[in-house]
Amino acid sequence: MLLSAAVRFAVARTFDVPWIAPDEMIYGLVGQSLWESGTLTVRDAAVPYYSLLTPALVGLPLTLGDVARGVAIAQALQALAMSLVAVPVYLWGARLVGTRWALAAAVLAILPPALWYGGLLMTEALFYPLVVAALLALARTLEQPTLERQGLFLLLVSVAAAVRLQALLLLPVLLVAVGLDAWFGRSARIVQRVAPLLVLVGLSTAGLLVLYASGRSDLLGAYGELAQTTPASTGVLAQLSWHSGAVVVMTMGLPLLATATLAILAAAHGEQNPSVRAFLAVTTAYVVLLVGQVSAFAVDYLDHVSERYVVTALPPLLLGLCLWIARGGPRPLAVVLPLTFAATAALVALPRSRVGSVFGAHDALTLLALGELADQGDLVFRGGLLALGLALAAAFVLLPRRMLAASAMVVALGFVAASVHATREIDRLSGLERAHDFGAGDRRWVDRADVAPVLHLDTGEQPSTSVARVTFWNHSIRRLLRLEGVPAQALPQKAVSISTGGALVDPSGREVSAPYAVLPATIALDGERLGSSPPTDIAPGSGLWRVDEPLRLVSRTEGFSPIGDFGRAKIVVYPCGPGALELDLLGKDGLPIRVIVNGFPWQTVELESGGMWTGAVPSLRPAGQLIPCLFELESEGLVGSTRVEWAPQAPG
């Protein structure tokens, strides 16, 4: 366990963390507020409830003053927390299969690629071991339903729900597991012994279902806020098929097949061992309800296959594999042939466009290994999945009993290979995200100026992830604004508009100002620029301004690339009296440039390829007329620029 935590932490230090936006940033920012002010807020602004314990764990190190050091400490704590899953897996396994196979199951549980979430600022680090501990407590309750065991189960559900509200699924799992245990044991005695608990949990479950059906809540909590509704989603049956396929891939197939075989045999012939019976009842109920819940969620919120939300099914299924091996690998053909067919069909049904993509990489670390296969085209993708399914089916059905232990080794090697691949992809993708948001610049460039409080304005010109990332790394940013029309982010941004005089105005008509402001480099303010972040390949840079309050925009540009190139560009000046727009333009294609002022053609500039034009375009505004000016530059070719600056006419 400690070795796993150390390895996960050491490798995770090579990642650019936080990576998953805005999830990691929100947990960190909420955690900072929790320790600084005792509130679950972001920069003193209210946010929906996401988690309590994860912000508490990762937020404390972030309050130590050095954000980078705080992230490193948080990564170490997260890696240790997630590796703790080995403890409940071993304790559970020791009751089922003895210490040797219990140890094997514990080792398997810390090998999957999903353990890399322990190196990030994600809820999975705490949720993974807590859910397994709750499932173990539920199984012990079914074996001997004392009040102490029932209370421990409810306590662990409450603690897990304080990490992620998805843990409330464990309440209906109890109801189904009790029914399955009665079926497998051919006795209703367990129902009678936990009847009061069933009534309590049943009423709670009914209340949750009513809230979910009314649209006022969901069993994934505020993940409905983090995951934007997408029209690219599809029906629940398709999602059930896809996420079943994800479970097959995530488990390397064999643990799922082994556990399902044991459950079907228990349903058909009964199970006399109370520990095994409780394990099979709990695992079957949890896996089925979990896949169903996530599939229902995915219909509205996910346009890719997500294994992250079903990863807690892994440990009990791995225990199921070890139990199956310890029992000699029962494989009646009437059971295993339909199971292997269904598993192969679920694999082949995985949608190529929704597997292994960059956009869904953070949700499917095992499925990332299928990305290269998906890039080869649909025929190769389907053929590869079919071959994989047939290989798994053949191994499960035909493996000799004396070699059953090798199946656990195959799963372990599969986990290691997938983890290595996921490591490379996380390293690459997290670096790419940082480059998109900061370029080659310093992540803490705002704090380096040693000024506060700073206002941040989102104009929609930069990646949606950049707002969360720059706010996370710069504690001096205390207020978050967005222009009306810019999609709202998960962070609490106040909508504002730009008045004709260049002021930022909220919906009530009040002006918004601050002594310092961060805005895209396309905007100039009345004040002094103190620092800047360089442009990236996909977005302009940003500037930090000391504001001559009240805050006023001087100019705003549109249509320029991060390096200043344009084909059609606009420059708005607020407010615009007498003066001129000073330009240094570079001819790249040798095509003329039309200059339009306030809707009227002013001049056509003939500029040879490689040539340069320097000039001043007058505002054509008389003195005393202070309204915005609009300058438009149009060319059929590409034009470069090194200077675009408004110069007001000197008084007198």
Spatial contact of 140 and 33, defined as CB atoms under 8 Å apart: no
pLDDT of 373 strictly over 60: yes
Query: What are the pLDDT digits (tens) for 32-70?
Result: 999 999 999 999 899 999 999 999 999 999 999 899 999
pLDDT, position 640: 94
pLDDT, position 215: 57
Spatial contact of 327 and 272, defined as CB atoms under 8 Å apart: no
Considering 508, 529, 554, which residue would you say is the last residue of a domain? 554
pLDDT, position 225: 45
pLDDT, position 213: 66
Q: Average pLDDT of 559-587?
A: 91
CB atoms within 10 A of CB 23: 23
Q: Average pLDDT of 227-248?
A: 76
426 and 508 fall within a common domain: no
Phi, psi at 546, each rounded to 5°: -85, 120
pLDDT of 148 strictly over 80: yes
Range of the domain at 583: 559-652
Q: How far is CA 501 from the centre of its chain?
A: 40
Q: How many angstroms separate the CA atoms of 162 and 171, rounded?
A: 15
pTM over 0.75: yes
Q: How many angstroms separate the CA atoms of 381 and 364, rounded?
A: 17
pLDDT, position 219: 47
Q: How many angstroms separate the CA atoms of 163 and 165, rounded?
A: 7
Angle between helices 378-398 and 254-269 (to 10 degrees): 50
CA angle 339, 343, 344 (to 5 degrees): 115
331 and 207 fall within a common domain: yes
Q: How many angstroms separate the CA atoms of 57 and 69, rounded?
A: 15
pLDDT, position 490: 86
Q: How many angstroms separate the CA atoms of 385 and 408, rounded?
A: 21
422 and 457 fall within a common domain: no
pLDDT of 103 strictly over 80: yes
Give the burial class of 440: count Cβ atoms within 10 A of its Cβ; 0-12 exposed, 13-18 middle, 19 or more buried.
Answer: exposed
pLDDT of 555 strictly over 70: yes
pLDDT of 186 strictly over 60: yes
501 and 602 fall within a common domain: no
pLDDT of 616 strictly over 50: yes
326 and 207 fall within a common domain: yes
180 and 46 fall within a common domain: yes
Q: Average pLDDT of 611-623?
A: 88
Q: Which of 196-205, 277-286, 523-532, 566-575 has the lowest mean pLDDT?
A: 196-205
Q: Considering only CA atoms, which of 57, 51, 52 is closest in space to residue 71?
A: 57
pLDDT of 452 strictly over 50: yes
482 and 336 fall within a common domain: no
8 and 55 fall within a common domain: yes
Q: Which residues contact 377 (CB under 8 A, 6 or more apart)?
A: none
Query: What are the pLDDT digits (tens) for 74-90?
Result: 999 999 999 999 999 99
Considering 554, 589, 622, which residue would you say is the last residue of a domain? 554
Q: Average pLDDT of 364-368?
A: 89
Work out the widest C-alpha separation in the chain, in whole angstroms: 100
Q: How many angstroms separate the CA atoms of 574 and 609, rounded?
A: 33
307 and 443 fall within a common domain: no
DSSP track, 162-175: TT-GGGGGHHHHHH
Spatial contact of 446 and 477, defined as CB atoms under 8 Å apart: yes
pLDDT of 223 strictly over 80: no
pLDDT of 206 strictly over 90: no
Question: Which stretches does DSSP call E strand in 484-624?
Answer: 494-498, 504-505, 511-512, 516-520, 523-525, 527-533, 542-547, 553-558, 566-576, 579-587, 593-597, 600-605, 612-618
Considering 554, 581, 609, which residue would you say is the last residue of a domain? 554
CA angle 241, 246, 250 (to 5 degrees): 155
CB atoms within 10 A of CB 518: 26
390 and 454 fall within a common domain: no
- What CATH number has the domain bearing residue 604? 2.60.120.260
**DSSP for residue 551:** P
> Can you give the length of the chain in residues?
652
pLDDT, position 624: 66
**DSSP for residue 488:** P
Per the structure, the count of domains in the chain is 3
626 token code pair: 């202070």
Q: How many angstroms separate the CA atoms of 561 and 524, rounded?
A: 17
pLDDT, position 246: 92
Give the burial class of 68: count Cβ atoms within 10 A of its Cβ; 0-12 exposed, 13-18 middle, 19 or more buried.
Answer: exposed
336 and 359 fall within a common domain: yes
339 and 443 fall within a common domain: no
Query: What are the pLDDT digits (tens) for 410-451?
Result: 999 999 999 999 999 999 999 999 998 998 889 999 999 999
pLDDT of 303 strictly over 80: no
